[in-house]
Chains A and B, each alone.
Chain A
């Protein structure tokens, strides 16, 4: 996990790094300045040789790359020592520059400054175009960065096999720029995908993204020119390497640019469905070409590396081979998808005619896939209409009508594509499951099951099944399936769950299903029936999870079934009783609720609570949604409290724990007293009721509420109810804390 290690390195913050770089640079400039000054004031050595060697300051500049690649002697010549300096220029500042680029530590400083500038530029672009990065984007950037670093390291040291520091230096400079643009492209892509999730992104954001992509594209072109120039001097191989990288970058950039542009057009101008629909084919093919060309250039690039680098037996070749393999499969996958697409298109065009105007008019509904109006559509044999594009994208992954699930596969020849589910046979509506899962009688199977968890808990379990399909028809005679130990084993497993099933029946079914789970399911669903007493007992056995040893014990199970159903009936009874609550409390609830509503004075307006309006403004919509949510919660809460307080008045529903019982007890007694005309005795009698220490807390609560009660007018029944309600609420708060 080198990446994790790298992340732990305490990197300095950007601010520190920048200031450090600035300090270093100023030191270097100062040093160079002093050198030149000393030289000029002490000109005994002033043997200016204007040898015409051109040096550029800018590191990473293409000119310098070409210079160095062109005649390495320039840089390989021994650097002059401090006191042996020979200044080539007349101008003072050019000499300073010369010193800066000839002294080794000065060079490093300048390089460092260049990187600092690059990072600052990246930061600036990020601030201007993207703003705060999302977590996903950060993660992608990080991944991409380390990935890039790794592969380029392999390239420089494995493939190019560079020997001198200067060569490394030049390559690193080249890849820094390339990597910079790659990362920006990746970031734009991620950001665009995110933007397309929202209908309300400002136009400015799209413009920014588009202009950034344009800038990247332009830089790509510049880089391409640079590498052509270098290629002219350094040979076709270097050119091919560099140009391939440039091209890949350009294609990726164009791809993102294309999708952003399309999206923007889609969002702002394309309100006409028909035009859009016709364009979908064009879009599909551009996507395809972009993807395939990027992959194939990448593939060629890696192949070139492998063949040219003379690295057949090194780690680098291994890495490149892995990458090649990955690219190959990617290519193949894409091509397969395309074939599937072509097949579906052909199928649609051949079998589903365009619907006529009248049919569309008769249909009088939107497309069920995209919910938009239909201008033109295809008609399926089952009579359902869909947009051409919608139907296409659905049929790419499934072969049934989206509405009625009628199978639309091409019939007897089947479909060659593996990823289309082949169970279209039972996809027809209202057709019950076939009694057995489809089993091909003309096959012999080898089934191997490894149950790892039986040995160690973390070992996986897996099954391997080899099926030999008999190509020659056997005229209906079925090959006797092998009575393997495997089958016996599975049968034993099934019988341990369903001891009453006859062995031969289970074995027979296992032969068809070849899986314990399927057979168990068949039994559960009643497709595989045991001799009477039948499936009821089966279910009971499952329900009680008692594995009966002997089939003869079946009769014993029946009482438990009855007891279970008895319990269910009881539960249902309870429900009934809860629902038919005594009416005197029910009647009061609405009053209470209204009362509370007045007290709380909800600001929520009536209509917004129940929808009915779809605002055009985003903020308002969000507000309305949260209002609706809150009011729903509030209502549910009120309803619940109302119900529970009424339920507690009801002695019938004592189904909770002991504490709850105590509460109920106190509760009922209070209630009784509340109904009595004289309230003076209330406290005393409550004390009688609550001598157990468990309920002391509840008691005090109730007592409080009663005191409240005593202070208020005893004549007001509404107020009384409310106090009662509050006490109930308090009790519940206490209970949830328990």
Chain B
């Protein structure tokens, strides 16, 4: 029920505020609704996304720690594991029951011991190392595999755009 989910989200918010991991800021968009968060993720260093600040939305289900939140980048991001509409495709965000691509072992999927912090950290590492075998954006995966220069060029543009300059 929503009560325990709320308390858990509060605890996570507190932890993320007190000890924020580097390059990650997350919190409720509006405290009237604790189940809708916004996160800012810094592009990891020494990758083509370095320097960018990418905003994303996290929507939590009412039974939160039992089911994963949904994550969606609100900026344009050309990446093999991000759908063109911004949804993030990583195994940690997949509910234990469903398996959209049909290849993950359940060990990689959501479990209540995961947290917003872990999700965001995995997203950062996903940005650093795209997994082109389970592509959500086929174009991006193809470009990543075949034309790395072009991919980096697009990424550089994205970074600039994300900074608003």
Q: Which residues of A contact B112 (CB under 8 A)?
A: 368-369, 390, 394, 402
CB distance from B25 to the nearest CB of A (A): 5
Tell me the B14-63 residues at the A interface (CB within 8 Å): 14, 16-20, 25, 27-28, 30-35, 38, 40, 42, 46, 51-53, 62-63
B152 at the interface (CB under 8 A from A): yes
Specify which of B16, B25, B62 is in contact with A632 (CB 8 Å cutoff). B25
Stretch of B5-13, B76-84, B85-93, B121-129 that contacts chain A: B5-13
Tell me the A293-318 residues at the B interface (CB within 8 Å): none
Q: Which residues of B contact A372 (CB under 8 A)?
A: 7-8, 11
A626 to B59, CA, bound (A): 19
Could you tell me which B residues sit within 8 Å of A by CB distance? 1-4, 6-8, 10-14, 16-20, 25, 27-28, 30-35, 38, 40, 42, 46, 51-53, 62-63, 65-66, 96-97, 102-103, 105-107, 111-113, 133, 142, 145-146, 148-149, 152-153, 159-161, 163-165
11 residue pairs of the A-B complex, CB under 8 angstroms, read A197-B32, A197-B33, A199-B10, A397-B96, A544-B146, A568-B148, A611-B20, A625-B28, A655-B149, A736-B161, A736-B165
Q: Which residues of A contact B28 (CB under 8 A)?
A: 625
Whether B2 pairs with A639 at a CB distance below 8 angstroms is: no
CB distance from A542 to the nearest CB of B (A): 8
Whether B31 pairs with A198 at a CB distance below 8 angstroms is: yes
Whether B12 pairs with A579 at a CB distance below 8 angstroms is: no
Specify which of A259, A610, A622, A656 is in contact with B31 (CB 8 Å cutoff). A622
Chain B residue at smallest Cβ distance from A521: B103
Whether A640 pairs with B146 at a CB distance below 8 angstroms is: no
A697 at the interface (CB under 8 A from B): no
Q: Which residues of B contact A545 (CB under 8 A)?
A: 142, 146
Chain A residue at smallest Cβ distance from B111: A402
Chain A residue at smallest Cβ distance from B37: A625
Is the contact region of chain A dominated by helix, strand, or loop, or is it mixed?
helix
Could you tell me which A residues sit within 8 Å of B by CB distance? 193-194, 196-200, 259, 263, 266-267, 368-372, 390, 393-394, 397-398, 400, 402-403, 405, 419, 421, 423-424, 426-429, 433, 517-518, 521, 524, 542-545, 564, 567-568, 571, 575, 579, 610-614, 618, 621-622, 624-625, 628-629, 632-633, 636-637, 639-641, 643, 655-656, 729, 732-733, 736
CB distance from A407 to the nearest CB of B (A): 9
Whether A405 pairs with B111 at a CB distance below 8 angstroms is: yes
Contact A398/B96 with A368-B112, A629-B25, A637-B165 known, Cβ cut-off 8 Å: yes
A622 to B65, CA, bound (A): 23
A208 to B65, CA, bound (A): 30
Specify which of B40, B46, B51, B160 is in contact with A579 (CB 8 Å cutoff). B46
Contact A426/B163 with A194-B33, A370-B8 known, Cβ cut-off 8 Å: no
Q: Which residues of B contact A403 (CB under 8 A)?
A: 111, 113
Q: Which residues of B contact A398 (CB under 8 A)?
A: 96-97, 106, 111
Q: Which residues of B contact A426 (CB under 8 A)?
A: 105-107
Specify which of B2, B7, B145, B164 is in contact with A543 (CB 8 Å cutoff). B145
Given A200-B31, A567-B149, 4 more contacts at CB 8 Å? A397-B96, A427-B107, A643-B51, A736-B160
Chain A residue at smallest Cβ distance from B3: A266
CB distance from B98 to the nearest CB of A (A): 9
CB distance from A563 to the nearest CB of B (A): 11
Q: Which residues of A contact B63 (CB under 8 A)?
A: 393
Q: Which residues of B contact A543 (CB under 8 A)?
A: 145-146
Whether A198 pairs with B34 at a CB distance below 8 angstroms is: yes
Contact A433/B33 with A370-B7, A633-B53, A636-B52 known, Cβ cut-off 8 Å: no
Q: Which of A193, A263, A614, A641 has the most CB of B within 10 A?
A: A614
Specify which of A368, A394, A614 is in contact with B66 (CB 8 Å cutoff). A394
Specify which of A370, A390, A524 is in contact with B133 (CB 8 Å cutoff). A524
Q: Which residues of A contact B133 (CB under 8 A)?
A: 524
